[in-house]
Amino acid sequence: MRLSELPLEVVADCPLCHESGARDFVSRGDGMQVVQCTTCSFLYLNPRPVNEALQRIYSTAYYESSDEMCGYREYLRREREALDGGWHIGYTILDLIEQFEPLLGKKVIEVGSGSGSVLRIAAQKGATVQGIESCAEMAQYIQKHLAMSVMHGSLEDADLPDDAFDLVLLCEVIEHLSDPLGAARQLQKCLKPGGLLFLTTPNAGCTGRFGGSWYGFHASYEHVSYFDMASLNRLIGQASLDVLGAWSFGDTHPDVHDKKSDTASTLLKSVLRSFASELAPSLLNRYRRTKRRQTLYPCTGIEQAHSLWLLAQKAATPYAE
């Protein structure tokens, strides 16, 4: 699936600061153009698919995609394997959040809940959980197999009550949204005073080292917004939230610059993985759990890891007007 085949619209103003000036930054692997706001430096796709067309991407095909450009391969199988092995990313995320706020008895909502793995871990920790999911089949899957409350639709269409949740989860979602600021403001409203917003997104700060050849521009072509720590801070501030902590997670994907070694190392890793999963699955799971813990770094401004994690809080008392 190519985004350029969808109905496109020209973005007149920066989605973050609403100023109009922008310069070309990089032409992605699919030919779509990423521009940089000349006022706030935010990177966004322009032109981009109209929102209605963008929403239609998230079907069953998206989660079981054989497409190199967009979506996930064998999503459900991988999710189950990670949950059963105890190394799902949700464990790392929720353990981190619990360093700030225990989840027992808390009300949690996840936007883009996929197959519900993170919500399932949150429920195991004693939270009351709820999801919003664009893909109808995934929403049905959660309701059927996990008996959790999930709303099928987009965040924009969700009529969320004010001051209702202790924690909002937004994992690898904000970069898919045409109006990330509107979404952040909507989520701030639905948080209780003192409530937390946790989000993860690919780290466009990697462009400082890799420029236009950064991995983020050459995979996941459904992304329309690219955040680094500065633009994420701006987003959070404009949504009247306070940053409690920021982390850089994962590797840098340097191998994307060398397709040959990328293919060779990917092949080698997959052979080693299949051997290990046949011969010593518990050892492999232990290695994966350890690796998850080791690759989370507090953000101090020069991180190059591929993913940014951020925890923000709604003020406990309303701001003075």
- Site residues, Zn ion (CB under 5 A): 14, 16-17, 37, 39-40, 42
Considering beta carbons, is residue 37 or 127 the nearer one to Zn ion?
Answer: 37
CB of 310 to Zn ion, least distance (A): 19
Query: Which residue, among 165, 310, 160, has the nearest Cα to 244 in the 3D structure?
Result: 310
Judge whether 105 and 308 are in contact, CB under 8 Å: no
Considering beta carbons, is residue 14 or 94 the nearer one to Zn ion?
Answer: 14
Considering beta carbons, is residue 42 or 165 the nearer one to Zn ion?
Answer: 42
CB of 100 to Zn ion, least distance (A): 30
Considering beta carbons, is residue 22 or 241 the nearer one to Zn ion?
Answer: 22
What six digits make up the tokens of 307? 């993913």
Q: Is the dihedral of CA 263, 269, 272, 276 positive or negative?
A: negative
Considering beta carbons, is residue 97 or 236 the nearer one to Zn ion?
Answer: 236
Give the residues across from 9 on adjacent strands.
48
Considering beta carbons, is residue 44 or 249 the nearer one to Zn ion?
Answer: 44
Distance of CA 223 to the CA centre of its chain: 10
Helices then strands, counting H and E runs in the chain, come out as: 11, 14
CB of 228 to Zn ion, least distance (A): 13
Judge whether 305 and 252 are in contact, CB under 8 Å: yes
Considering beta carbons, is residue 16 or 97 the nearer one to Zn ion?
Answer: 16
CB of 207 to Zn ion, least distance (A): 16
CB of 290 to Zn ion, least distance (A): 40
CB of 4 to Zn ion, least distance (A): 24
What six digits make up the tokens of 311? 């925890």
C-alpha span between 173 and 200 (Å, rounded): 8
Neighbour order of strands in the sheet with 128-133: 149-152, 128-133, 107-111, 165-171, 191-202, 307-314, 241-249, 296-298
CB of 188 to Zn ion, least distance (A): 20
Query: Which residue, among 163, 92, 94, 170, has the nearest Cα to 127 in the 3D structure?
Result: 94
Phi-psi region of 253 (alpha: psi -120 to 50; beta: other; left: phi over 0): left
